[in-house]
Structure 1
Amino acid sequence: MSNSSDFSDPVYKEISLTNGYINRMSRDELRAKLAEFKLDTRGVKDVLKKRLKNYYKKEKLMQKQPIAADNYYDYICIIDFEATCEEGNHPEFTHEIIEFPIVLLNTRTLEIEDTFQQYVKPEINLQLSDFCINLTGISQDLVDKADEFPKVLQRAVDWMKQKELGSKYSYSILTDGSWDMSKFLNIQCRVSRLKYPSFAKKWINIRKSYGNFYKVPRNQTKLSSMLEKLGMDYDGRPHSGLDDSKNIARIAIRMLQDGCELRVNERLHGGLLLTVSSSTPIEGAPVPQMPRFR
């Protein structure tokens, strides 16, 4: 354990005093100070405070002991599935994935390096509801021409392997909430008679990370609210899987810039959704493999 976590060190006293000073600043004072350090000045007051506190904290700790960048994921894969749905989904409705996007975020450059996107043909409800078409912008024609899920998953796995994820580079999956993995992928694997893929068993739920980092209640962590609080507009078409994933990536980039260490906080075990403790060491996901058929 490094001595940087010894809170009796005088540097933590300095950080605490600085935090108190920042808490008393007005929004205009915060923005002026952030501009002085060439930091982003967008966002609500609490976001600006957090950004400035983290900047000072990082500066103070860097003077004390440089932080090694080797213990963080090289890449984050943002995944936001679109699935079949009906207006007022009744509990027994089976959601099937109809769009599979991945946005590859390089955590060193903080840039989107590449994207993957495929539409998926449903196997149970072949006909999309009008509600689903209007919500997602995915037409009946697009899914009719698409391949079924196992072929699309194989392509996603091949794409991730080609990027050397899990072999040369460490990575983690990131989602907007728990549903993408614990519900949509879980249901889809049962429909397609596939075992659940091991590389998707742990992920970063950005809503949880955002709420904890910016001290925001969980009901204020919808995608639109997170963007708004950070002073950003939605870019693209809402409920397009790829556009949603890109916007989630923009939030992740801002959080990393603000000093948040996005880390795995949820996992699926025996079909159950579990929380991963923040004290668990950072460990990348395994090399993506196509799961076996059941």
Structure 2
Amino acid sequence: MGHWLVIDLEATTDEGGWAMEEMEIIEIGASLVGADGHERDHFQRFIRPQRRPCLTDFCRELTHITQAEIDSAATLPQVWAQFERWLTQHAPRLVGWSSWGDYDRRQLEQEWRQHQVHSLLTEVPHLNLKQAFAKARQLQRPVGLHSALQLAGMQFQGKQHRALEDARNTARLLPLVLPIKD
């Protein structure tokens, strides 16, 4: 019975958005989901950005992440080592990983390169759940997570723009897209 990992990131930004090269991950949330779509395990950490350690007012308001939480967080290489240790125990049953859209995958790949860290995630396929949901529902174009949940007859649970809650809500849509088999 395979597991899927659903990842969501929060990153530094400001009103109007920043180019991806300018953004840095400030929170990772990962929900490991079994074949039945239920969470088996999870991982959440804050990450201290290196280039712009002070969060913008916009970023703090959007994510509800405080400057103190970021100031006391470890850097990406330190957090990634913790994540990989956590992931290793699940690796034998990991079928693939998913995110809502392609941003999270691209941001991770960018920071893996910058920090020269390796990830087990490069050894399993990535599913862009936003695209897969749109295709499964025959939508003309992909929709946001909130809209997708509503289309599926679900409500968003928890706070939006927090990595673990976003990952958990994204994971709820996985069984609707994947014919998850035992």
Q: What secondary structure sits across from 1:80 in the alignment?
A: strand
- Residues 35-68 of structure 1: CA deviation (Å, up to 9, x unaligned): xxxxxxxxxxxxxxxxxxxxxxxxxxxxxxxxxx
1:91 Cα deviation from its structure 2 partner: 3.5
The DSSP-based 3-state class of the residue aligned with 1:117 is: strand
Which of 232, 251, 255 is matched with 2:154 structurally? 232
What residue number does 1:171 align with? 95
- Work out whether residues 103 and 249 of structure 1, in 8 Å CA contact, stay in contact via their aligned partners in 2: yes
Equivalences for 1:204-283 in 2 at 5 Å?
204-219=127-142, 221-253=143-175, 255=176, 260-261=178-179
Root mean square deviation, CA, Å: 1.9
Q: Distance in 1 between matches of 2:102 and 2:50?
A: 24
Counting aligned pairs with the same residue, the percent is 27
Please, which runs of 5 or more residues in structure 2 have no aligned partner?
Answer: none
> What are the equivalent positions in structure 2 for 1:14-33 lying under 5 Å apart?
none
Distance in 1 of aligned mates of 2:50 and 2:88: 27
Q: Cα gap change, 1:239/1:114 in structure 2, threshold over 3 Å: closer, same or farther? A: same
Superposed displacement of residue 111, structure 1: 1.1
5 Å matches for 1:99-178? 99-107=27-35, 109-163=36-90, 165=91, 167=92, 169-178=93-102
CA distance in 2, matches of 1:161, 1:91: 32
CA distance 1:210–1:146, change in 2 (3 Å): same
**TM-score under structure 1 length normalisation:** 0.57
Amino acid at match of 2:82: R
Check whether the contact 1:173–1:200 (CA below 8 A) recurs between aligned residues.
no
The AA in structure 1 aligned to 2:55 is: L
Q: Is the 8 A contact 1:136 1:239 kept in 2?
A: yes
Offset at 1:239?
A: 0.4
Q: Who is 1:86 aligned against?
A: 14
Instruction: Give me the whole-angstrom Cα distance separating, in 2, the residues matched to 1:244 and 1:91.
Output: 22
In structure 2, what is the Cα distance between the partners aligned to 1:93 and 1:209?
A: 26
2:84–2:120 CA contact under 8 A, matched in 1: no
Report how far residue 170 of structure 1 moved: 3.5
CA distance in 1, matches of 2:37, 2:11: 29
- For the 8 Å contact 2:12–2:25, the answer to whether it is kept is yes
Corresponding residue for 1:271?
Answer: none
Give the count of matched residue pairs: 179
Structure with bigger gyration radius: 1
Deviation at 1:90, TM superposition (A): 4.3
The corresponding residue for 1:275 is: none
Q: 1:190 to 1:161 in 2, by over 3 A?
A: closer
The corresponding residue for 2:5 is: 77
Q: Does the residue aligned with 1:124 lie in a helix, a strand or coil?
A: coil
Determine the structure 2 residue equivalent to 1:268.
none
8 Å contact from structure 1 (residues 207, 218) kept in 2: no
* Cα distance, 1:146–1:195 mapped onto 2, change above 3 Å: closer
Q: Partners of 1:149 and 1:215 in 2: how far apart?
A: 38
Distance across 1 between alignment mates of 2:134 and 2:112: 30
